[in-house]
Structure 1
Amino acid sequence: MLTQYSFGFLFIPVLIFFIIYGRSYRVSSVLVFALVFIVVISPWLARNIAICGKPFGTQGYAIIQETSKFSDNALDRELRPDFSGVNRVYLDDLAKKLTVNLHKILTDVLPGFTGNWLAAFFLAGLIIPYKNPVVSALRNFIILSFVTLIPVMALNQTWLSTMSRDVHSENIVFWLAPIVILYGAALFFILLDQINIQNQLIKNGVLLFSAVIFCLPLLITFLPPREVPVAWPPYYPPLIKQISGFFKNNELIMTDIPWAVAWYGKHQAISLTPDPKESFFRVNDVIKPVNGIYITQVTMDSAFQTKLLKGIERFWGKFVIDIINKGILPTGFPLKYAWSDVLPDQLLLADWERWKWAEKK
C-alpha cells in the first residue's frame, strides 16, 4: 500500500467480504479492519502532506494522465502544470480512458496474466460449487477483487504502461495471479479424479504431461536463442554508471530516464523539461544548475511524425536533430560539449568535456 497506492482499493472487497461472511463477528471485524487500515496508512499520508501538500503525492494525478489534457508523460515533466479546463473535459476524458483501457485489459492482459493456461481452469471453476464454504468464500473474494482492481487499473494507467507492454508496476491484476493459479490447479485435479484412472503409472504420466503443458510458456524461454538480460535500448547499466561517474554527487543530470540514472548510476537526476528553453532555464537558473543532459532512445526513437514533429517531444526533437545533423545549439544554451562516443544512438551534453577528465583518471 505504501509503495503502490492502488493496493489500497482492496479495502473495498475486504470490507464486503467481512460484511457478507463475518456472521456474528461482522460488526467487530469491519471496525477492527477499518481501524487497522487507517492506523497503518495515516502516518504515511501525513508525511506526504507535510512534504508536498498532497496525501498521495504525484500519484494522485494518475487518473488524469493519458487524457487529452495530459498525454504521455507531459504532467510528470511540468514544473507548473496548468489544470485549467480539466474539469470541463474531466468526465468525458475519464469515460474514454476507462473504455479504452478496459478493452486492452480484457483482451490482452487477463488472458495471459498468470503466465500459463491454469487461468482457464480458474474461469471454468467459477460455475462449480465447492463443498468447503471457506474455499467458496475465498473464491468470491477473488471475484470481488477482480471487479474492483480492473476498473482501478484502467483509470490509473499512465505512460508507464506503454513502456513495458506486459509486466509493469501498473498491472495490478498480477497481484491475484498466485491464488488464481492455485484455484486453477485445484479444478484440474478435481477433473482428473473424475476420470478415475486406475493405473497409477498412466495417472502419473497424465500429471507429468499436463505439468509440462502448463509450464510450456516458461520452458520455452530457456530454449535458444537466449535473450540478453539487458533492455537495450535504452538501458545499458555499465554505460549509465559510466555517464553518472562524469558528474560529482551534488551535480544534477537532466534525462529522459531519471529512474535508471538514479538506480544504476546512483546519481541525482531530473526528467527532461517540456522544452529546452523556458522550462529548462526555469530549472537551471532558479532551482539548481543542470550540469548534464542525457537523452536516450526513449526520446530519439519516438514516432517521428506524431511525437518528434507535432507531439510532446517536438521541442526536444528539434533540439536533438539540430545537434546531431547540424551541430547547432540554441543561442545561450549553457551545455556546449557533446560526448561523441554515444552518438548517434544517444546524446550526452555537459558544461565541459568531463569524459576527458575521466579518461585521465
Structure 2
Amino acid sequence: MNSVLDSVLSPIIAASPVGLVVGFLVVGAAFVGIYFLVQYARVNETSVQQMVHTLEQGGWVRRVKVVLLLAAIAFMVYLWFFREYAGFKGLPHEKAIEQAEIAREISRGHGFSTKLIRPAALWQFERETGRFPIERIPDTYHAPLNPYINALVFKVMDWANNGVKSLANKAEYFDRYTFEDVMTTKQLVYTYDRIIAFTQLMFFLLAVLINYFTAKRLFDERLAVFSVWLMLLCERFWDYAMSGLPQMLMLLLFSAAAHAMVRAIEAKVAGRSPLPWLIGVGALFGLLALAHGLTIWLFAGALFFSVFYFRPRGRDAAIMLGVFVLFYGPWMIRNQIVCGNPVGLGWYSGLDQVRGSESEIMRSMEMPLTGLSPTVFRAKVQNQIILQMNNIFELLGKSLLAPVFFVGLLHLFKRPETSVFRWFILSMWVSGVFGMAVFGMPETATQVKANDLHILFVPLMVFYGLALVLVMWTRLDINIRLLRLAFLTLIFVISAFPFLNQLTIFFGARTMPVWWPPYYPGSISVLSKWTRENEIIASDMPWAVAWYADRQSLWLPMTVHDFLDLNDYNQLQGRIVGLYLTPVTGDKAFISDIMRGEYKEWSAFITRSVNTKDFPLKAVTPMAVDGESIYYSDRKRWENNEE
C-alpha cells in the first residue's frame, strides 16, 4: 500500500510540503468518485434511469459543478506549482522577497525587523533618533499585515514539518515529506517561496468566493458563476499570486469591503440603517491599508462616495474614518516610536521620477528634499496617468470585459443598488489612479508591480462589463441557443487567452527552473557559509542576500565614497566583509546606466576592471551562473569550503 501511495503522491509532493494540500484534493476526489461508482454499480437499470432524471432535474447538478470546479482548481494549482521546469520558479519580485524576509524575522521572535539595510534608512534613523539599531533593524518601509500573516503561516508549517520529522525518525518513509528550513545549494526553489505563493493563492480563491456572492447580490447567480470562471481564467491573478506580493491579500480585503458596501447600499434602499455595514467597510479598509499604504487613496474615494450618498451627509463617512484610524493609527504610532516619523520610510518612494529612481533614493545617504513642492510632481503625475491609460487593458488583467465597465456607466440598471454601486467603484478607481500617479509604478523585470491597484478592480468591473454585454446581446433578439453559446464561448476564449497561452508554456519546452537572471537562490545561499551572522554583505540585490543567505545586507550605496565612509567611520560597526554584484547591475545598459547613469560610481566593479589594491575587499571570485555574478571579500573565505 505504501508503494502505491508513494507512486501517486510523490510527483506532486516531492517539490514541497505545500503539495500535500493538492495531494489531499486529488486523492479525496478520487475516493469520492470511486465511492459513487461502487454505489451506482449496485443499482439496476431503473435506478440508473432515476439517477439520470435526478441529475436532469438539478438534484445533483450543483454538486457535480462544485466537484468539477474544485478539480479544475486543483489541476491549475498543480500546473503553476509543480510543473517541472515551467511551473513555480521562486519569488520574482524584490518587494515580495523583502516582505518574506521580514516575515521570517517575525516568526523567529525578532519583531517587525529586517536584515536589509537601506542607506536611506541609515539617514532617517540617525537624523530622527540619533542612532542606527544595527543589531535588530526595525523595518519602516513595508506595511505590516502581509508579513505578519506569512510569519503565522511559517510557524504553522514549521510545526507541521517538525511533526513529520518526528514520524520520519520512526519510519523512514516520511522523510521524503519533510523540508529544509534554510536554503541550500541542493535546492532550486526555496520551500518558503512556495509557502508564500500558496498563501497568496488561497487569498485569491477566497476573494473569488466573496466576489461570487457580491455578483449574485448585484445581478443573478448565472452571471456570478460566469464571473467566477472569468476570474479563475485570468492569468494576471495567478501571476500576482505566484509573485508573493500582497495583492491577493489586498484583493480579498478589497472584495470584502466592496461586499459590505453593497449590503450598506441595500440597507439604505430598504430603509434600514447602513451603519453596521459601513463600520465593517471602515475596518476592512483599515486592514487594507495595513496590507499596502497606497490603498489609503482607495479609502479616500470610498469616503467621497459616502459623503454624498448616505444621509445625514458626512456622518457615516466620519464614522468610517474613525474606524479606519482605529485600525491604522497604531501602526503610525509604532513608526513614530522606532524612527521618529509616523509614515516611516515608504513615503519617500513618492520621490521616484522626481529626484531620480526609487533605487537611487533608497541608496542615498541623504534625502534630496530641497526644493520640493506640489508643482514639481505635476509632470510626473501627468506622465503616470497617461502611462496608466495607455496600458489600461493590461493593468485590468487583459480582461476583455473589464474596460466595458466604463461604457456601463451610461446604462441604467434596474436594481437601484446595482446602479448606485458602480459610482462607488468609479470614485475609488479615480482616486486610486491619482494615488498611483503620485507614487509611481516603477518598471521592474517582472510584469507584476508592487504599486498596482488596478488589479483589485478587475472582478467588480467584469461584473458590470459582462452584464452590459449580455443586455446588448438580449436586445439583438437572437433566440438561437447555439449562437448564444458560441458568443459566450468567444468571450471566455478571448478573456482567457493569456491564461491558455501560459498552459502551452507549461506543456512546451523546458525553461530555466529559477528566475535567472538575476536570482539563483542556491548560489546566493553559499554566502551564508562564507560569513558569520553578525557580518554584513553589500549588494545590488540585498533583499535576495537577506532572504536566501540569511545575512544582513547593505543596499549598494550611491557612491564608493559613501561605502568607504560607512566602513572607515564604523557606522556599521566594521561588519562589511563582502560585496556581491549580480545581473541586477551587470545587465544594465552599458553607457546610459553603468558608465554614465545610476551605477557610474561602481562601473569598475561591475565591469570587473577595478584594482582592489586600495579597496578594503581585495579578494575576488566569480559566481553563478558562468561568472555573471561576482563576489568581493575581505579574504578568500571560499577556500577550503565544501560549498
Q: Normalising by structure 1, what TM-score?
A: 0.88
Unpaired runs of at least 5, structure 2: 1-288
The residue aligned with 1:238 is: 522
Match among 602, 605, 610 for residue 316 of structure 1: 602
Match among 49, 62, 69 for residue 349 of structure 2: 62
| SS state at 2:460 partner | helix
Match among 560, 566, 572 for residue 276 of structure 1: 560
| SS state at 2:517 partner | coil
Identity of aligned residues (%): 26
2:577 maps to 1:291: yes
Match among 298, 316, 321 for residue 34 of structure 1: 321
Between the aligned partners of 2:310 and 2:628, the Cα distance in structure 1 is 60
2:550 maps to 1:266: yes
Alpha-carbon contact 2:395-2:455 (below 8 Å) kept: no
Which of 53-62 and 111-120 deviates more?
Answer: 111-120
Cα distance 1:198–1:302, how it changes in 2: closer, same or farther (>3 A)?
A: same
Cα distance 1:228–1:196, how it changes in 2: closer, same or farther (>3 A)?
A: farther
Match among 35, 40, 43 for residue 330 of structure 2: 43
Deviation at 1:72, TM superposition (A): 4.8
After TM superposition, the structure 1 = structure 2 runs for residues 59-98 of structure 1, keeping only pairs within 5 Å, are 59-67=346-354, 69-83=355-369, 85-87=370-372, 90-98=373-381
Between the aligned partners of 1:144 and 1:74, the Cα distance in structure 2 is 34
2:296 maps to 1:12: no
Between the aligned partners of 2:321 and 2:440, the Cα distance in structure 1 is 27
Deviation at 1:58, TM superposition (A): 1.4
After TM superposition, the structure 1 = structure 2 runs for residues 175-190 of structure 1, keeping only pairs within 5 Å, are 175-190=456-471
Alpha-carbon contact 2:622-2:629 (below 8 Å) kept: no
Deviation at 1:82, TM superposition (A): 4.4
Deviation at 1:51, TM superposition (A): 0.9
The residue aligned with 1:337 is: 619
Alpha-carbon contact 1:308-1:318 (below 8 Å) kept: no
Letter in 2 for 1:316: W
Letter in 2 for 1:16: F
Alpha-carbon contact 1:300-1:317 (below 8 Å) kept: no
2:501 maps to 1:220: yes
| SS state at 1:277 partner | helix
Deviation at 1:185, TM superposition (A): 2.0
Instruction: List per-residue Cα deviations over 1:149-181 (Å, max 9, x = no partner).
Output: 1121111026xx222464111122222122122
Instruction: List per-residue Cα deviations over 1:83-128 (Å, max 9, x = no partner).
Output: 3x333xx444311111221221111245542222112322221211
After TM superposition, the structure 1 = structure 2 runs for residues 180-219 of structure 1, keeping only pairs within 5 Å, are 180-219=461-500
Match among 565, 583, 590 for residue 304 of structure 1: 590
Match among 144, 152, 161 for residue 427 of structure 2: 144
Deviation at 1:22, TM superposition (A): 1.1
2:325 maps to 1:23: no
Letter in 2 for 1:185: L
Alpha-carbon contact 1:125-1:187 (below 8 Å) kept: yes
Cα distance 1:239–1:339, how it changes in 2: closer, same or farther (>3 A)?
A: same
Instruction: List per-residue Cα deviations over 1:267-295 (Å, max 9, x = no partner).
Output: 32120011223434325622232121111
Alpha-carbon contact 2:578-2:633 (below 8 Å) kept: yes
Instruction: List per-residue Cα deviations over 1:280-327 (Å, max 9, x = no partner).
Output: 432562223212111111111222222222222111112333xx24x6
Cα distance 1:280–1:154, how it changes in 2: closer, same or farther (>3 A)?
A: farther
| SS state at 1:254 partner | strand
Deviation at 1:28, TM superposition (A): 3.8
Letter in 1 for 2:571: V
| SS state at 2:402 partner | helix
Cα distance 1:27–1:310, how it changes in 2: closer, same or farther (>3 A)?
A: closer
Alpha-carbon contact 1:273-1:280 (below 8 Å) kept: no
Alpha-carbon contact 1:299-1:317 (below 8 Å) kept: no
Cα distance 1:298–1:52, how it changes in 2: closer, same or farther (>3 A)?
A: same
Alpha-carbon contact 2:559-2:602 (below 8 Å) kept: yes
Cα distance 1:116–1:353, how it changes in 2: closer, same or farther (>3 A)?
A: same
Match among 350, 354, 361 for residue 633 of structure 2: 350
Deviation at 1:190, TM superposition (A): 2.1
| SS state at 1:286 partner | coil
Alpha-carbon contact 1:119-1:181 (below 8 Å) kept: yes
Letter in 1 for 2:295: F
Letter in 2 for 1:149: G
| SS state at 2:554 partner | strand
Alpha-carbon contact 1:109-1:166 (below 8 Å) kept: no
Between the aligned partners of 2:519 and 2:306, the Cα distance in structure 1 is 46
Cα distance 1:136–1:245, how it changes in 2: closer, same or farther (>3 A)?
A: farther
The residue aligned with 2:190 is: none
Letter in 2 for 1:236: Y
The residue aligned with 1:157 is: 440
Between the aligned partners of 2:352 and 2:385, the Cα distance in structure 1 is 16
Alpha-carbon contact 1:319-1:329 (below 8 Å) kept: no
Cα distance 1:330–1:184, how it changes in 2: closer, same or farther (>3 A)?
A: farther
Alpha-carbon contact 1:116-1:217 (below 8 Å) kept: no
Between the aligned partners of 1:136 and 1:185, the Cα distance in structure 2 is 15
Between the aligned partners of 1:259 and 1:278, the Cα distance in structure 2 is 20
The residue aligned with 1:255 is: 539
Q: Normalising by structure 2, what TM-score?
A: 0.51
Instruction: List per-residue Cα deviations over 1:165-218 (Å, max 9, x = no partner).
Output: 641111222221221222222222222333344343443333223212221121
Alpha-carbon contact 1:276-1:319 (below 8 Å) kept: no
2:400 maps to 1:117: yes
Q: Which has the higher contact order (CA 8 A, sep 6+)?
A: 2
Cα distance 1:320–1:205, how it changes in 2: closer, same or farther (>3 A)?
A: closer
